[in-house]
Structure 1
């Protein structure tokens, strides 16, 4: 089963987006090849749901994280080799030699560039393969199926010619025909696998370099049956001075009821948690320390739910439809992480109170999933304390220094009693402006 989510969640958490400079994809996209960038994009759209696969990928990334290695060839050499390998050649040596002889004649007669491009592409490929041979010696203790397959391909007797190939020097027509036939026909499958390995190598190095620079860590994936999430410090990966908070969710405390004033950091905290869980399911580094998590079937958020004027949806109705969508997925028995920021803020306080109370109570009965629900309506928390035994209550405080609010962004046990809205309004002298 694949990890399930939707566009609303990806937009809420700003996960994907190759052309969005603020996305998580852009944060990690330090790749040097087009194939590496495409692979990274695919990884962002295909989180994993198997603990062994997740831990295997994070283990490889951690391996590169600890070694500070560079991509073994320049971007230009790789681009030339990639273009060359993307073409085809004849199925026999004689057919290849005949075609090259024709291209050579055209180069002499009318300055046709095909022969020169072929020569440059093959030389770049030889250079790339030799550089990869040297790189593999640096990571000889890396143990993955893909790594071992590439090593075997380069060490096969059919690839021994590489040791004698004149690197960087023009090839004779006979050499060009021989090597072209070997690389693009005889060893076609092997070279395609090597190219794919280079894309993975690009991603591993790029992602681990970003993680090292930002002080990210690697989470441990656990079987879903353990039903736990814990970290000593989770923060938002895109914020350089983010405040980190601890969090534990488990079967008997699977709902976090979160309160706090606007600007206190509730939305940022919830986004931090959602992002950490999503990246962890990719096997990627996270902005969280000592993180362990039971794999989830999926992740749904409701943070920035837009109205839909074209369909005639008000903001409140859009919220209701969002809750309905998530309820359908929860009712199917999926093990999910669900994040609701300010449930039913598009309606009046009485309806919001009743709806928040009812929805939270119903969701809390599904102890196989984790829920984080925030609200301004703190009175709901008092009723939930009476009616549910599996909720934990936390808030993000506001500290008043005179008439000036300060937000420490530290998760604190309990339900907030902060009511400083009028103080902030008075600070901004709004009432004086309209008198």
Structure 2
């Protein structure tokens, strides 16, 4: 079963985007190879829903983080090998030999580049395979099983088979190989062992991702979440923070089935949206088995996450901002009422309508959603009056982000506190900016 996160959710949390400098993907994209980057993109697009698979991937990252190992290859080396192996060779050795002889003749007479390219690709592929063999021997630990053991053994078995014993003796530099040697190696690598060598490359792309992410986790002081079966419906984290903000303020967050909704209040700029994004991003990363920006975390796996943070209007369809909000809430309600185990984040419910309607709708919708104890919710709002009624429900946590006034200047702690915000500093901020005085003058 695939993890659900639609386009708006991914955009709200700025998760994807190779060319988006501030995306969470780019935070982790420290890989060395194009194949590693492609694999990293696939991991970001397909979070896991099996706690055993999530925990195994986390354990693999932790294993490589403990080794302090750097990926020993460049993208150019693997590109050269990939380009060489993607070319055609042939099934029959005599034909390969004749073909190479013809290509070499063309290279001599008309300076055709194909034969030198084959020689270069062959040499670079042999060099990479030799380095792979050396690198794996350095990673081996006697009689110790580790999370990446099976993959390394697969590569080791491929490279240690009798057909490749010549790798130990072959001259990597020096004069070009003879046509006979070139034909023999070319037939072996690009025909006989082509599939096996692609497996070697894929495992090293995987290794590239594991080493890059593990080293980032060490640099950023990230930790690893423990995945639990969904039945427990638990989320608990300390020191949770936004992974893409340096020196971000950390907060504890806790849910369980009898306390499954956070009703969040606070002034503008107090940090509500950032906190909700931090929660959503880390939950998403945890389902990938990736390191998280928290001191510690454990969570019951979910089927997906929906956010409603930056709901756009749609002028082409004639949708106002409010109606777009309503349709978004309806979509989430359909998913929740169908029994799916989800995490839902609503930022400023129904801000596109008048205060009275917003109050009534926030109160009714929040109370109705909270009854789905298999799901977890965070709902933020400025309608603090709704919070006074909702806090009477035992499964709703009332939390707020405070504003501290230094005279007429607001400052923010970004630290969660129990209760409902009483901050009403909007007019004070407007007065501080001198807007009314400017208009009067």
SS of the residue aligned with 1:288? coil
SS of the residue aligned with 1:230? strand
Matched, 1:326 2:339: no
Q: Paired residue for 1:246? A: 252
Query: Displacement of 1:77 after TM fit?
Result: 2.1
Equivalent runs, 1:58-69 vs 2, <5 Å:
58-69=58-69
Q: Is the CA contact 2:33–2:74 (under 8 Å) kept in the aligned structure 1?
A: no
Q: Paired residue for 2:130? A: 130
Equivalent runs, 1:11-160 vs 2, <5 Å:
11-141=11-141, 142-144=146-148, 145-160=150-165
Q: Is the CA contact 2:56–2:147 (under 8 Å) kept in the aligned structure 1?
A: no
SS of the residue aligned with 1:246? strand
Q: Is the CA contact 1:234–1:289 (under 8 Å) kept in the aligned structure 2?
A: yes
SS of the residue aligned with 1:301? strand
How many equivalent pairs are there? Answer: 434
Once residues 138 and 2 of structure 1 are traced to their aligned partners in structure 2, the CA distance between those partners, rounded to angstroms, is 37
Once residues 160 and 98 of structure 1 are traced to their aligned partners in structure 2, the CA distance between those partners, rounded to angstroms, is 26
- Please point out which of 410, 423, 430 is paired with 2:435: 430
Query: Displacement of 1:86 after TM fit?
Result: 1.4
Equivalent runs, 1:216-231 vs 2, <5 Å:
216-231=222-237
Deviations 1:292-325 (A, max 9, x none): 1111100000000000000000000000000001
Once residues 225 and 139 of structure 1 are traced to their aligned partners in structure 2, the CA distance between those partners, rounded to angstroms, is 38
Q: Paired residue for 2:200? A: 194
Q: Paired residue for 1:264? A: 270
Query: Displacement of 1:155 after TM fit?
Result: 1.8
Once residues 277 and 298 of structure 1 are traced to their aligned partners in structure 2, the CA distance between those partners, rounded to angstroms, is 10
SS of the residue aligned with 1:343? coil
Q: Is the CA contact 1:223–1:295 (under 8 Å) kept in the aligned structure 2?
A: yes
Q: Which runs of 5+ in 2 are unaligned?
A: none
Q: Is the CA contact 2:222–2:292 (under 8 Å) kept in the aligned structure 1?
A: yes
Q: Is the CA contact 1:127–1:168 (under 8 Å) kept in the aligned structure 2?
A: no
Q: Which runs of 5+ in 1 are unaligned?
A: none
Query: Displacement of 1:148 after TM fit?
Result: 2.3
Which 10-residue stretch deviates more, 192-201 or 251-260?
192-201
Deviations 1:326-364 (A, max 9, x none): 111111111111000000000011100000011111101
Once residues 21 and 173 of structure 2 are traced to their aligned partners in structure 1, the CA distance between those partners, rounded to angstroms, is 38
SS of the residue aligned with 1:291? strand
Q: Is the CA contact 1:296–1:335 (under 8 Å) kept in the aligned structure 2?
A: yes
RMSD: 1.2
Once residues 302 and 246 of structure 1 are traced to their aligned partners in structure 2, the CA distance between those partners, rounded to angstroms, is 22
Q: Is the CA contact 1:234–1:288 (under 8 Å) kept in the aligned structure 2?
A: yes
SS of the residue aligned with 2:405? strand
SS of the residue aligned with 1:340? strand
Query: Displacement of 1:88 after TM fit?
Result: 2.0
Query: Displacement of 1:74 after TM fit?
Result: 2.9
SS of the residue aligned with 1:256? strand
Q: Is the CA contact 1:344–1:355 (under 8 Å) kept in the aligned structure 2?
A: yes
Once residues 350 and 129 of structure 2 are traced to their aligned partners in structure 1, the CA distance between those partners, rounded to angstroms, is 59
Once residues 178 and 215 of structure 2 are traced to their aligned partners in structure 1, the CA distance between those partners, rounded to angstroms, is 41
Once residues 137 and 147 of structure 2 are traced to their aligned partners in structure 1, the CA distance between those partners, rounded to angstroms, is 13
Deviations 1:196-253 (A, max 9, x none): 1121122112222222221211111111112101111111111011001000111010
TM-score normalised over the length of structure 1 = 0.98
Q: Is the CA contact 1:54–1:282 (under 8 Å) kept in the aligned structure 2?
A: yes
Which 10-residue stretch deviates more, 190-199 or 70-79?
70-79
- Please point out which of 306, 311, 315 is paired with 1:305: 311
Q: Paired residue for 2:300? A: 294
- Please point out which of 380, 391, 413 is paired with 2:396: 391
Matched, 1:176 2:193: no
